[in-house]
Structure 1
């Protein structure tokens, strides 16, 4: 399709609107005509998007850098290019890509910058791919670019049943790393089946239980909780170990500014990292370096590695549930229950 004869009537789209601070029942489903793609843009016909911690935080107005209400949530998406704007190669039409966008994924079609597209081979299931876009890139980069894990090491993964935790654990095991996974007891059997050593995250003997498995401490901790969990996680590191914080789940339901909680977290990580004990601590931000050539290169390289592992069967994305976009309220009710194992995926 030539963008010069693009007709918006071909793209009457359906999208989910987050109108303000909301509960799942307050989400709106609306239709409109999509505007023409501008220079450097394409239109993706969305085949899969997902629910993540980010959307739950946005519904509470507690996600740093989120746009003003109202807007269309959806941190990432997988879809097929159906139209291109000026200065975009028209041969992209008909090809499948993923895109990491922070918002806009909860829609039947979405405008996306062509330079940000991540190529997907035709023989890969879009639902499976959706589980490795933001979650997979986050897991890969934390393991290999931040913690720089090595075969024979031991790591602790908090939220091992989550979208990031399930992928991170699989990647670590594939790399020859022992994984201790913290989750609710309801998920322990599934964790064991995947080769993960399960422990209960809110057990009063949590640290003692970790030390029974790793007496000298662990080589890395991946902490999605924040708050008081940070000091505990740092204390479980062996000399030379690394703590990576990547979310502040504890702050979701607190009646105070998430920005303040985030700044306190960063300050704590800075102080811990300054201690002369050979341990390191830091916060992982998937958007760090955005706008630089190295950022896009890393994104494409890392996503390509994940696709190869998916194609070879090494990665087996855990899909907690799959909902049509029209059932977004039910999907978010499930997400809010905090009982799932893996990723909630939305399809047309």
Structure 2
């Protein structure tokens, strides 16, 4: 169970908002068990719209499970939520986050299959970045005994999305080829691992060159995202690829369609090219929109190509396909127990470090999944003030030492 009233270290440089510090202190000094810490998005915009504060703790309604959160997943989609670039976002203030792991603290009425103390992972329709969440039982899954809370928070969204795109949408089979953008990210690494469970699948990975050393062994061929990867792929496979997974959109849509073999499938599951600066950019949005090749159904018919879109969260929360997702999760947990797949965790961050974690994703610096660890204390950063104090103390000690040595010599 998450520790309440834990001592916190000094706020990091990214959390310079004085109100944030005051709110955090109030939470920790509070003995009210019905309040919790949570990340609040006060309004759409930059990193300064995020803060950690106290919030009323939710209680499970009929058909819901209350979870004491241990870890939360952080995705590129969360940056788009913060900027307000997604369709029909809830009105702020809101608690971001779509996935978490933790321990069942209580259950609502008409709940079967879960008991207090169960270790679980869950999808949440927002509100995941908090000490406690309540979510419908259909979105909750028991964790394997060997799985850590950080792994569980990195598992559900990435692996379910990767599996459904590969096997439910594109029908991946032996001997096929797959190209995945952002191969070093959470979904990209999940795609690479799942492809390895099918014989003779060739995986083309596109990523920033500084990630290549770390992920080279996870894919068959690896190319720099800043070079003409189309020509590089065609040198290896002149006919192109069978499946292309695109989380970028923009100009990559046309490139992806041009790389498809006959009967190949292009799947769009993100639009990260629309995120360029810290806040929403109408220029970037318009540029990505106009760069998308306007798809002509007649051309698809003539070239025998398939274009598809995939949104796991819409499938769960808007289209009611919980039973399908559960069947996929069962298959994935079987593969995990067989040690054929394992989520890649990039790093752990305290709730108070959410701004820094988001910046790391924005800079495309992560390899695997970033996790918000609810029980982790922020790591203090060396500020300019601290450096000056350290310098002055060092100088003072040196002066004292010299005077002491001089006095001894005179005596």
TM-score normalised according to structure 2 size: 0.76
Query: Aligned partners of 1:273 and 1:297: how far apart in 2?
Result: 35
- Aligned residue in 2 for 1:4: none
- Aligned residue in 1 for 2:281: 255
Query: Aligned partners of 2:59 and 2:207: how far apart in 1?
Result: 45
Structure having the higher helix fraction is: 2
1:112 is paired with a residue whose SS is strand
Match of 2:169 among 146, 149, 154: 146
Query: Aligned partners of 1:130 and 1:123: how far apart in 2?
Result: 14
Contact 2:38 2:54 in 1 (8 A): yes
- Aligned residue in 2 for 1:178: 202
Instruction: Please say if 1:197 is aligned against 2:221.
Output: yes
- Aligned residue in 2 for 1:3: none
Contact 1:246 1:284 in 2 (8 A): yes
Instruction: Please say if 1:211 is aligned against 2:239.
Output: no
1:32 is paired with a residue whose SS is strand
Task: Kindly state the Cα deviation for residue 331 of structure 1 after the two structures are TM-superposed.
Answer: 1.5
Q: Flag structure 1 segments of 5+ consecutive residues without an equivalent.
A: 1-7
- Aligned residue in 1 for 2:256: 233
Q: How does 1:152-163 map to 2 (within 5 A)?
A: 152-163=175-186
Query: Aligned partners of 1:90 and 1:174: how far apart in 2?
Result: 30
Instruction: Please say if 1:307 is aligned against 2:338.
Output: no
Q: Flag structure 2 segments of 5+ consecutive residues without an equivalent.
A: 1-30, 375-411
Query: Aligned partners of 1:255 and 1:294: how far apart in 2?
Result: 32
1:219 is paired with a residue whose SS is strand
Query: Aligned partners of 2:350 and 2:317: how far apart in 1?
Result: 33
Task: Kindly state the Cα deviation for residue 102 of structure 1 after the two structures are TM-superposed.
Answer: 3.7
Aligned CA RMSD, in angstroms, stands at 2.6
Q: How does 1:84-163 map to 2 (within 5 A)?
A: 84-89=107-112, 91-163=114-186
Match of 1:17 among 26, 40, 43: 40
Task: Kindly state the Cα deviation for residue 145 of structure 1 after the two structures are TM-superposed.
Answer: 0.3
Task: Kindly state the Cα deviation for residue 292 of structure 1 after the two structures are TM-superposed.
Answer: 8.9
How many residue pairs get aligned? The number is 340
* Cα distance change on mapping 1:269 and 1:306 into 2, 3 Å: farther
Q: Alpha-carbon deviations, 1:101-137, whole Å to 9, x = none?
A: 2411110111111232122233321211211211111
